[in-house]
Structure formats: structure tokens, C-alpha cells
Structure 1
Amino acid sequence: MRYFKLCVKLNHHFLIILLLLYGIDSQGFLNWLFPNLKDPPKIEEKAPKFKYKGCGVATSKQTAQRRIVGGDDAGFGTFPWQAYIRIGSSRCNMLMSIFELIGWKQCWIERCGGSLISRRHVVTAGHCVARAQPRHVRVTLGDYVINSAAEPLPAYTFGVRTIKVHPLFKFTPQADRFDVAVLTLDRNVHYMPHIAPICLPERGSDFLGQYGWAAGWGALSPGSRLRPRTLQAVDVPVLDNRVCERWHRANGINVVIYPEMLCAGYRGGGKDSCQGDSGGPLMLERAGRWYLIGVVSAGYSCASRGQPGIYHRVAHTVDWISHATTLA
């Protein structure tokens, strides 16, 4: 006979729930405990008046302020395709709905970024979700300041129906190969001023020498466990792959940058994506529309000299990404 005690502080009172786990149907227990709760919860999004102008159009033009590493607060709605992804522990699956209600964070073992590309699909890094089960993943759209109720428009959280990791994805001691995945959400997304998809680039597009933006809620300094609550963004130039290799080797790092990878950053460092930004977008604006050109993948440090960030190159696998959105 096994017992599990869960103590939570609600309205300044302690509620002790004693769960008898042995011999009890877990879903039946949850239905009894919370008769009005369904997992994943079905939320009716009441969209404000909004004229959708196509992919890659941000309605907010707020200017960034100070701070990702060396970056800035992005501004509410500046990147309406930005997704906040949480991957839960399998041991917590039975009680995940309860933990979501009470805000218990220990069940989330991984936090990543992502990019909305359609009403039902989000692109993220393969290494974020390669070992995850769809029922353990939650995707939040429209968030700017995490866990804030004071934003101009609300955020919405979705369950995940399917996870499609690129068939050539491979964990490696260096940057992971073909580090991209497509998540199918459990319901359609209603586009709003702060929730809209980003465009995909044409196959083979080259962005060498152009400045892109990386965004996320990752660490503000290398090795830091502290994470900002406010979405951060940083501008970084796209580099030639061979230049990226030479810079790394000058620092004693023998890395191979394969064709499906892309590097972006400064030789002197100072600006970069960091831990917790994985899966998030590297994006570039052309003629008033934003394009997803990279997915945050790897880096040997954050914003260190001669160690630019390594991204998955979306233009290399855009055909697979587009096909993945048609399968479910």
C-alpha cells in the first residue's frame, strides 16, 4: 500500500490531500476529485476584434528596452508567434491536471521555446521533445510576462496531440543533427493581436550577413539558474558556417557545422541565446513580414567570445516542416 501526500498552500490555508494510489483508477479518482475538470481543459478563446493580415505580421511595434544575454525586453505582442513550452515528468502525469491548477512547478522538467506556424502547429527543437510523450507537453501562446495576470490580453495554454521529430534527428556530443520538431496542438488557435503565426522561408534561402532576432525566456547569463519572467530578444548577425567553425576552433572547440545548421552571433560575444531558449525562434524581417530562419539548438557557452549560437537552419528542412503540418 503506497501513499502520497501533497501539501499546497491555497488562500493562506494548507490543504492536505491523501491519495490512495494502489488499486485505484487514477483518471476515475481525478474525475471524482474535480468533477468539472477535463484534461486537457477546453478553453473558449474569445478573440478581440482583429483583422488577420497573414503570417509574420506583428501588430505591436513596441521598442525594446534593456536585456536573453545582452538583449532586451521584447515588448508585448512584438513576436506574436512566440510559444512557451513545458515538458512534464512521466512520474507526474497522473496528477498533472492538479499540479497545473495549483501552480506546482516541480513536474516541469524542461522548458523550451517554440514558434507558431499555423492554427494547429508549433515548431520547436527536436532535443526538447524527442523523449517526451504528447500528454506531458503544454504549449502557451500569447504570453509575455510568465504567470502575470496584468497583461493587456490573456495567454492561452494548449495540450499537444502529436509530436513529430525530424526523422534524421540525432543526439550528438556536439550540436544535435536535424534539431527540429513539429507539435500538433489539441485544438485550433484563434489569431489575435498577440497570437499569430510566423512565415516559413523558401527552401534554400540564404540569410548570410543579415541580422536576425532570437527571443525567449532563457538565462540572462551563462550558467545562471535565474530565468526572466519577461520575454527577451536580441539581434545577432547570420554567419557563414565555415567562419563559425574557425571561431570555435580558435577557442579549442572542434565542432562541425553541418548544412542543416546555422550560426548567428558576434565574434566578441556579448549577445546570444542561452539555456532555456532552446526551440525558440531566430527570425528575420523582410518587407514587413517576419520569417522563421532558425530554431535555437546549441551553444558551448552563452555570449562568449568566438562562440556564436548554433541554430537549426529552417530553410534546409522547410519541406519536411510543411509536410508535417499536413499529417494531423
Structure 2
Amino acid sequence: PSNTQAAPVWSHNSLVPEEPQQGCGVSVKSQTAQRRIVGGDEAGFGSFPWQAYIRIGSSRCGGSLVNRYHVVTAGHCVARANARQVQVTLGDYVINSAVEPLPAYTYGVRQISVHPYFKFTPQADRFDVAVLRLDRPVQYMPHIAPICLPTKGEDFLGQYGWAAGWGALQPGSRLRPKTLQAVDVPVIDNRLCERWHRSNGINVVIYDEMLCAGYRGGGKDSCQGDSGGPLMLERSGRWFLIGIVSAGYSCAQKGQPGIYHRVANTVDWISHIINS
């Protein structure tokens, strides 16, 4: 589309990320990206240097670079994929074009790690997060750099995040923009998100590992093709990955904010995978 929680199989205090990983989350274009995906604008070359473009057979998803070897994406993008079918492009801004000042680089995938509790569901997928291990280390450049991970359990209620991707500019459209789009959306309370959906006749449970962001009146949202891409937040000059585009009932509709995977809920698992 696109809570009772068992105790984690393992947990390790040493896995909680210390203060921002060295050198993560810094965009050379520290101009806040221009405005956005539906209701958005072109992001600006190099604004989000962690943004990945992922091809899975004939499907497309977004992702986020988190260190030299790993990209985080949505579980539903890769749960049924074989690593050999997946290609990850970093440093791209205008897809399939060479107009950018610096080149894009494409990587193969050695390993796909889908969250152990990931589950396809008729509503929003559960624990919709996966980590891809690339086939070679990434050289950081002005337009290729990792994003920071948030602290475990951190709550971003009421703060404005940015979603970015190459997904549809309107719901149901088969047209896709060539240029990376970005949009600002406020994080809203999970219960409020359920109520907004319910007032539109949609009964959806927003579990603890999910996060909603958007506007009661609609108009700005992530959409088909943005799945797996980042919802990110800037704090004192660094960008943090707070959500992963997961699901939505249509796009940018009134009372139907986007549903994201909540990274602060599974950051211990993500850290474990990317540091081992």
C-alpha cells in the first residue's frame, strides 16, 4: 500500500545509539529543503544525501543510508525479494539523468534483514522495517552521507518532519516525478490518527511501532512509490530518521494522514543489524 508486543528476543544496553553517530545527518545543503510528494516540491540536489532509490525487480521503493554498508527501508518492499533482485542507488536526484553536478552510484545487496516481527496485514503492515547490506562500502561525498538514528522510545509528537521520495504526485497516478520531492508534515498522536481515519469510515489500528504524520485537511503526504523512504527531522543542524514510509489509505486525503514505521521503536534492532 501499501499493542501487545512480545519481549525482544535479545536486548543489549550497549546497542542503544550513543549521541548521534559521528558525522551522520549533516546535509551540505543545510538550507531546509524546499517544500515536497503530494503537495510538495523538488528537494534540491544534495539536500537529503542519505536518500536511496531501490529497485526490486520491477518495483521501486525509497530507503535511507545509515552507515557505510547499510540502507534502511520498509519491510514490505523487500520481504518477498531475493538479494540478487535488489539494486540500491545513492547520490541520485534526477532519476535516469546525468544533469546533476555529481554522479549517482548503484550497489548490489548482499543481505536482506527483515524485522523478525514484520507481517503483511490488510491494514498497515506490522514492524514494517528492513535493513539491506550493500555489496561494497559507500564512499561518503557531498551528496552521499548517512542519516542519524533516533534514541530508543523518543516521541516526536507535534514536530514537523520531512518525507521525501520519487513516488506519485497524486493518488492513483502512474506518473512518477524524475526529481526527488519533499514535503513537511507534522507528527500526530496515534489515537488521534485512528479517530481521523474512523471519521472517514476507515477502521485502522495504529500500533505502537507505527507513527502518523499529516494534516486533517490533507493536501501533503507521501504516496505510492515513496514506500521505504525516510520521514526525517532536523535537530540542531543534524537530521534524524524518525519514520519509514509504510502505508496510507489513498494519499493526501482529508482525515487520512500517512502511516509510517516508527524508527525509535525498533532502533535497537536496527543498530544491532548495522553494527554486526
TM-score by length of 2: 0.91
Question: Kindly tell me: are residues 166 and 143 of structure 1, through their superposed partners in 2, closer, same or farther at Cα, counting changes over 3 Å?
Answer: same
Check the 8 A contact 2:73/2:244 in 1, yes or no.
yes
Post-superposition offset of 1:65: 5.1
Distance in 2 between the 1:250 and 1:132 partners?
36
- Is 1:274 matched with 2:223? yes
Once residues 164 and 145 of structure 1 are traced to their aligned partners in structure 2, the CA distance between those partners, rounded to angstroms, is 28
1:86 aligns with 2:35: no
Alpha-carbon offset, residue 64 of structure 1: 4.8
Unaligned runs of 5+ in 1: 1-52, 89-108
User: Equivalents in 2 of 1:196, 1:154: separation in Å?
Assistant: 14
Q: Secondary structure at the match of 1:318?
A: helix
Residue 292 of structure 1 pairs with residue 241 of structure 2: yes
- 1:113 matched to 2:82? The reply is no
| Candidates 142, 148, 152, aligned match of 1:193 | 142
Cα displacement (A) at 1:267: 0.2
TM-score, with structure 1 as normaliser: 0.77
How far apart are 1:67 and its partner, in Å? Answer: 5.0
Who is 1:137 aligned against? 86
Render the CA deviation track for 1:267-300: whole Å, top value 9, x for unaligned: 0000000000000000000010000000000000
The higher relative CO (CA closer than 8 Å, separation ≥ 6) is in 2
Percent identity over paired residues? 83
Q: CA deviation at 1:63?
A: 6.1
Q: Does 1:125 align with 2:74?
A: yes
Residue of structure 1 in register with 2:110 after alignment = 161
- SS of the counterpart of 1:262? strand
Q: What is the correspondence of 1:239-278 to structure 2 with a 5 Å cutoff? A: 239-278=188-227
Deviation at 1:150, TM superposition (A): 1.5
Q: Does 1:58 align with 2:7?
A: no
Q: Secondary structure in 1 aligned to 2:187?
A: strand
Distance 2:142 2:269 in 1: 29
- The structure 1 residue matched to 2:44, chosen from 75, 87, 95, is 75
Aligned-pair distance for 1:60?
1.3
**8 Å CA contact retained: 1:182, 1:321:** yes
Matches of 1:196 and 1:54, distance apart in 2: 9
CA apart distance, 1:61:
3.4
Q: Is the 8 A contact 2:168 2:224 kept in 1?
A: yes
Given the alignment, which residue of 104, 120, 124 partners 1:175?
124
Q: What are the Cα deviations for residues 62-107 of structure 1, in whole angstroms up to 9, with x where unaligned? A: 565565100010000000000000001xxxxxxxxxxxxxxxxxxx
Equivalent position of 1:8 in the other structure = none
1:313 aligns with 2:262: yes
| Pair 1:221–1:120, CA change in 2 (3 A) | same
Query: Structure 1 stretches (4+) deviating beyond 2 angstroms?
Result: 61-67
Q: How big is the shift at 1:216?
A: 0.1
Looking at structure 2, the residues matched to 326 and 64 of structure 1 have their Cα atoms a distance apart, in angstroms, of 30
Query: Secondary structure in 2 aligned to 1:213?
Result: strand
Counterpart of 1:218 (choices 167, 173, 197) is 167
Q: Which amino acid aligns with 1:315?
A: A
- Please give the alpha-carbon distance, in whole angstroms, between the structure 1 residues aligned to 2:32 and 2:204: 36
Residue aligned with 1:214, SS: strand
Would you say the 8 A contact 1:114–1:124 is kept in 2?
yes
How far apart are the structure 1 equivalents of 2:255 and 2:201?
A: 10
Larger Rg over CA atoms: 1
Per-residue CA deviation, residues 115-135 of structure 1 (Å, 9 max, x unaligned), is: 000000000000000000001
CA distance in 2, matches of 1:72, 1:143: 16
Distance, in Å, in 2 between the alignment partners of 1:166 and 1:267 is: 31
CA RMSD of the aligned region, Å? 1.3
Q: Is the 8 A contact 2:35 2:43 kept in 1?
A: no
Question: What residue is the counterpart of 1:233 in the other structure?
Answer: 182
